[in-house]
Amino acid sequence: MFIKPTVIEFNKIGNPSLGYISVAEVQDNIAFEIKRVYWTYYTPDHVQRGGHAHKNLQQVLVAVSGIIELTLKDTKGIEYFYKLDKPSMGLFIPENYWRTLKFSHNAVLVCLASEIYKEEDYIRDFSKFIK
């Protein structure tokens, strides 16, 4: 089954005087069992991250602070662009999408992942990915 990237709008509970909370829950707005959570921060705004795809891993990415711009490519070379700029928005990335990420200076990315880390799941050569 071929699944495309999908923007997820998490419920935003609260108000401006008290603040907000958003919740990610398996079987509600996350389509997989979460096996790993990680976050990246202090990424200089001139650095491009990513440069890989995954064979099996699925992810939901959330910019809990700052702005993260993502470019995704599928195996047919079709390109998708996303801008994560609010903590109540996530991006579901299925397996087999090449990704590059650009961070604003204050960006913090949280990743909900469907698998534990396995180096053999990574595709780091774009020409092999397209094949």
Confirm if 51 and 128 have CB atoms less than 8 A apart: no
Catalytic position from the list 46, 52, 54, 105:
52
52 is catalytic: yes
Residue found under tokens 């109540």? 88
The secondary element (H helix, E strand) that includes residue 127 is helix 126-130
3-state DSSP helix/strand/coil % of the chain, to nearest 5: 5, 45, 45
Give the whole-angstrom CA distance, residue 92 versus residue 53: 14
Residues catalogued as catalytic:
52
